A and B are shown apart, each in its own frame.
Chain A
Amino acid sequence: DSGVTQTPKHLITATGQRVTLRCSPRSGDLSVYWYQQSLDQGLQFLIQYYNGEERAKGNILERFSAQQFPDLHSELNLSSLELGDSALYFCASSFGTPQETQYFGPGTRLLVL
């Protein structure tokens, strides 16, 4: 157990819908990272937040957005869902910079039908 929690574990929804994925970092960690992992694919970096502020952006679609709240938990919002958005979404946390060990949560498996 890494100490990073994610909810829900599984999510099934329809095209065009909107979902929210939630992540709580390890106690003391200030940075939260979101990654997308499609079937048999690598880890695609989406976005990073540090202490409530956006720090780095990867290949995140405009239909996706995220935020980090004062208690440091983070939410990833996916809207106008398409079939291709079906994937595992991981959250990771570290104390500060990406140069520190990133601890991954168990992931949320999203299936868009």
Chain B
Amino acid sequence: GENVEQHPSTLSVQEGDSAVIKCTYSDSASNYFPWYKQELGKRPQLIIDIRSNVGEKKDQRIAVTLNKTAKHFSLHITETQPEDSAVYFCAARFRNTGFQKLVFGTGTRLLVSP
């Protein structure tokens, strides 16, 4: 079925540490994997995405890696700051009877302590 598993569900780190969130997906044909950040009471916002023709993508302190063989992808945040505290969602694009849709993971609540 169409499934995206995300771990951990909560993650607490000290400011300056790195944080890693992992996701696995079920459809080997998936080829688009975005990550969204949702602050409390606000809308999800795209922070980075990766397509299956690359294995890694970086944007300042944020990086995403993709292993298509293993069907998993990860978000890496380095030098974490308190403002990184939020819920992070991964997603994968699935094909559904000819149409496409994004399926989201269940989210990771990241808490960065000063």
Contacts and interface: CB of A to CB of B under 8 A. Distances in A.
The DSSP consensus for interface residues of chain B is: strand
Q: Which of A33, A35, A42, A55 has the most CB of B within 10 A?
A: A42
B106 to A, nearest CB: 4
Query: In which size bucket is the chain B interface?
Result: 20 to 34
A41 B104 CA distance: 11
A36 to B, nearest CB: 11
B44 A104 contact: yes
Contact of A42 (B31, B99, B104): B104
Query: In which size bucket is the chain A interface?
Result: 20 to 34
Contact of B32 (A45, A98, A103): A98
Given A2-B43, A43-B44, A106-B43, A101 B34 contact: yes
A42 B106 contact: yes
A104 B38 CA distance: 10
A107 B101 contact: no
Given A90-B44, A101-B34, A104-B44, A55 B99 contact: yes
A27 interface: no
Interface of A: 2, 33, 35, 41-45, 48, 55-58, 90, 97-99, 101-107
Interface of B: 31-32, 34, 36, 42-46, 49, 51, 89, 93, 96, 99-107
Query: Lowest 6 CB-CB distances: which A-B pairs, in order?
Result: A56-B99, A104-B43, A42-B106, A56-B101, A43-B104, A99-B32
